[in-house]
Every structure is written in structure tokens, then in C-alpha cells.
Structure 1
Amino acid sequence: MVTQRSKSNTPKDQKLANALKESKAPAISRAAAILRLLGKSETPLGLQSIARALNLVPSTCLYVLRALVDEEFVSFDTDTKRYSLEAGVLTLARHWLRRNQFTDLSQPVLNRISQEFDVTVLGVNVVGLEHIIVVAISQAGNNFQISAQVGSRFPAMISATGRCIVAFGDYTEQELEEKFKTLRWDEPPTFDEWKAQIGQARIDGFAVDEGNYISGVTVVAAPVWKSRDKLSHALVAIGISSVLKRNGLPELQQALLKSAQTLSNQLSGEVLAQAK
């Protein structure tokens, strides 16, 4: 789960396009897809580029873009004829963050763990098996930096976070295997190895990815529960494997697990078991 990869975004764009075809509310899906596409683009995009990326008819794409401009979610440069996100999206994000208890509670925890173990720590929101969203972050003080930012989205099943989601969820082997085949790793485990790691996460209460997702990087994730039957968030620590071993990987794992359990209690208002 953790860093934005430099590989082509074409598969993600195609996934957005496929989702549009299957949507029961196409107008909303088109608007959401356009916003996501503009959000991940490093430069403004023209009408034809947007329509082509999402397999939309240009006239339909233009209609949606004009509506988004009117609502101040998208801006249009009359000189370049290109579109980009407008500040209006920040209003929605600010309202959500203001009401999100996890973000407020987790930020001091992320800062403390990050400083103590010299790692980057994320707080992520879990959206089933589809994806996870970074909602809080504390960067490490060393030279190792990741490109994840608040609002970054990642495949839900990737890296240590994915092992937690599967370990403490209720999913069939068939749907897991299908999604597993779509994941991209630097050093991919086999499906059987991955399942064994999930079983270990169920026992330990946290998951570890040692160089599978990113070679030379270790990721530790611990689940956070908003209710007894709903894994809602996770705490994720990322660092260079050799540095983590030198600074005390077992101690980091326990600190992350204890913090996740404390946050679970705060969010749910009751003592939750380490696992379901």
C-alpha cells in the first residue's frame, strides 16, 4: 500500500472507464471520474484527453465539465483550453476532515511514532476491498520520503494494510484470488505465501510486508475498528528495512498495535478485541 508508484496509470484510467459503464448513476459517476482524473494529473488536461482517458463521448464530457466549472469544483483556462481542479473541492474536504474523529485522534499518535522510530506513519480509511485513502500522515525525519499525501488512494489489498483488511474481514477465496492477480509488487509473493502471511496477521493482530511491495522497504500495519464488526481504518508505518531492524522493528510493531487498539477504543467507545 504505500507509495505512489511511477508506473503507467493506464490501468487505473481503464478501471475508471469500466466503472462508468457499470454505474447505475452515470451522471454522478462521470463527474466523480473526471474529478479523480484531474486530481491525479500533474498538469491541466484538455477536453479530448479527458474524454479519451475515460472513454466518454466528447460532447457528454464537455457537458459534465461545464457543470463542474459552474459548481466551482473545476476551473477552465480560456487561454490553454484546459481543465484543472478548483478550490471548491477543498470545501468538501475540509467539512469531511472537520467531522472525522479518526483524523483528529490519530495525528498525535502518528507524530509520536514517527519521531520515536524515524519512520513515516499514515492513517488510512478503509473502503472495503476496493481501496484505502490516506487521511493523516507524519513524515519521517530521515532522507527516506514517500510521495503519499492526504487524499492519496491505493488498492485495498496491497502491502501490509491489505493483509490486515483480508485477515480481519469476511471474503471468499475466489474474490481474493481475482483481486490478488491485479496487484503490482516489486517482489511479489505467491498467493499461498500471501495467504500464510494473512494467517499470521490474524494471530499477531498486525501485518508486515518486508520488501514485497517495495524492495528494501518494510511496511507494518495495524487495524483500527470503529465498531466491533467493521474494520474502518489502519495505522501504517513505512521505513527502510535495514533502518527499522536497527531501530527496533519488534518495538515498532508493538507500539503501532497498542496505538491502534487505543484508537479503536476511542472511536467505538468500548473495549474491542484485537481481532474479530
Structure 2
Amino acid sequence: ALGIVPSTCLHILKTLDHDGLVSEDKANKKYQLGPALLRFARDMVGSNDFVRNVQGVLDRIAKSHEVTTVAVWHEGADRIIVVAKANAPTNFSIHVNIGSRFPALTSAIGHCFAVNFEGNLEHLRESFEELKWQDPPLFTDWVKDIAFAREHGYAVDKGHHIRGVTVVAAPVYAAVAGTTRAIAGVGLYEQLTGAARTALAEDLKSSAVALSETYSESIIRRPV
């Protein structure tokens, strides 16, 4: 109808996919609106399966553990974007905006995504050197944190990305695409120590597992 050559159309879609404006469904090879569009239109919040399912989870965890919670989506090649959030029910909390973008391997959330590249140390080192930290860890310690995330199903950043702030994250898997989403709790370092940090980590982990099952089932049920 538009008179566009199919190869040109595919090239345009691949470019939009790279920038996160559309997202390819690996199960049926179809494209849908991508998370980067949250910067321009909030309509996606009501129509995207993951965003719709995750909001209640974020609200509950934020209330139970008195932390700010976020859900992120791996956008394009090297960025993550915040697609949902819930504020801590306290007078003071960490503020995060929906639509905020960060390097994909940032903080504890980055540990979850870095598992995808765990066998490629050269790629990890290049990515590590490009990250901005307020209290940079050693590369060897960062790699150990990635291995911890793979083994335990959650990751922790105790003040490296932002001094005085602890981030705990857990990956959300899809049946076909692997780890492309994650949920996280963000709080003050003094607040998230010992048992409080462990309880948050276990809650995020179990919630991420449940979301993974729900999200994967929605992909499988989606008509071709």
C-alpha cells in the first residue's frame, strides 16, 4: 500500500528495533511497539503485557520493603529504559522517572543482563570501562557479581553505581528472547543491610520468576 520495497521496509524495521522504537516478537516474527516510545507516548503502559502485569508487583514490593521499585526493558543494543515504577511509602525515597534510560550493564540491573555475555570477557571488559560509577569496583569483582547473579537469580550493587544507594535486582526471562527485562528495588545503603536486603532480594527473585512464567505464557498464547 505504501509502495515500499520489502527489503527497504525490513531495513527500516531493523533500525527502529535497534533504537527500541519497535520490538520483534521472536516467537512469531512480528513487530510491536518498543519501550523507547514511552518517551513520547504513555499509551503503551496500558497495552503492553509486561508493563501491565508488573505494576502490581512493583506496588506490593515497594510497600512491603519501603523501597522505590522499577521495571526495566533492554532497549536496543546497549540501553535499558524504565517502563514502570512504584515509589516507597515514606517521606524520603529514591526518585526514578519512567522513560529514564541507562547503559544496559549499569548497577545490579546490569549484572542480570551481563549474564548473557558472561563467556565473552573481552566484551564485558569493554562495556565495564564505558560505565560510570561513583565508587568503581574492580573488574574482577564485577565479573564475580555477574556470576553471583547467574547462580542465585538476583544481583546486588552496594553503593558502587551511586554512593550510599543499594540496588537489588532480579531478571525476568521470556520463553524465546531470554533476559530482556528486570525488576529492582532501590533504597539507602543503611536501610538495605543484612536481613532487610536478603528479604528484598528473595521477594524480587520469586516475583521475577512468576513474571517470567506469565510473560512467557503470554508469548506462547499470542496468535500468529
Q: How far 1:204 sits from its partner (Å)?
A: 0.6
Contact 2:117–2:123 (8 Å) recurs in 1 = no
- Is 1:240 the counterpart of 2:150? The answer is no
Q: Residue 147 of structure 2: which of 188, 194, 199 is its match? A: 199
Give 1:214-253 correspondences, 5 Å limit: 214-245=162-193, 248-253=196-201
Q: Residue 174 of structure 1: which of 122, 126, 150 is its match? A: 122
Give 1:126-137 correspondences, 5 Å limit: 126-127=74-75, 130-137=78-85
Letter paired with 1:123: A
Give 1:115-154 correspondences, 5 Å limit: 115-127=63-75, 130-154=78-102
Contact 1:119–1:140 (8 Å) recurs in 2 = yes
User: Identity of aligned pairs, percent?
Assistant: 37
In 2, distance between residues paired with 1:155 and 1:94? Answer: 22
Q: How far 1:255 sits from its partner (Å)?
A: 0.4
- Is 1:105 the counterpart of 2:53? The answer is yes
Contact 2:82–2:97 (8 Å) recurs in 1 = yes
Q: How far 1:90 sits from its partner (Å)?
A: 7.4
Contact 2:68–2:187 (8 Å) recurs in 1 = yes
In 1, distance between residues paired with 2:101 and 2:173? Answer: 20
Q: How far 1:225 sits from its partner (Å)?
A: 1.0
Q: How far 1:91 sits from its partner (Å)?
A: 10
Which consecutive residues of structure 2, in runs of 5 or more, have no partner in the other structure?
A: 1-10, 20-36, 219-224
In 1, distance between residues paired with 2:50 and 2:211? Answer: 8
Letter paired with 1:131: R
Letter paired with 1:240: L
Letter paired with 1:258: S
Q: How far 1:93 sits from its partner (Å)?
A: 2.4
Q: How far 1:232 sits from its partner (Å)?
A: 1.8
In 2, distance between residues paired with 1:223 and 1:214? Answer: 21
- Is 1:159 the counterpart of 2:107? The answer is yes
Q: Secondary structure at the match of 1:154?
A: strand
* TM-score normalised to structure 2 length: 0.75
Name the counterpart of 2:27.
none
Contact 1:222–1:256 (8 Å) recurs in 2 = yes
Structure 1 residues 196 and 110, CA, compared in 2 at 3 Å: closer, same or farther? Answer: same
Q: Residue 185 of structure 1: which of 130, 133, 141 is its match? A: 133
Deviation string for 1:120-160 (max 9, x for gaps)?
00011013650100000001122433342111100111100
Q: How far 1:171 sits from its partner (Å)?
A: 5.8
Letter paired with 1:117: H
Larger radius of gyration: 1
* TM-score normalised to structure 1 length: 0.62
Q: How far 1:169 sits from its partner (Å)?
A: 4.4
Contact 1:129–1:157 (8 Å) recurs in 2 = no
In 1, distance between residues paired with 2:145 and 2:181? Answer: 20
Q: Secondary structure at the match of 1:148?
A: coil
**How many residue pairs align between the two structures?**
187
Contact 1:169–1:231 (8 Å) recurs in 2 = no
Deviation string for 1:181-223 (max 9, x for gaps)?
1111111001111001111111111100001111111100100
Q: How far 1:228 sits from its partner (Å)?
A: 4.8
Structure 1 residues 205 and 228, CA, compared in 2 at 3 Å: closer, same or farther? Answer: farther
Contact 1:102–1:267 (8 Å) recurs in 2 = yes
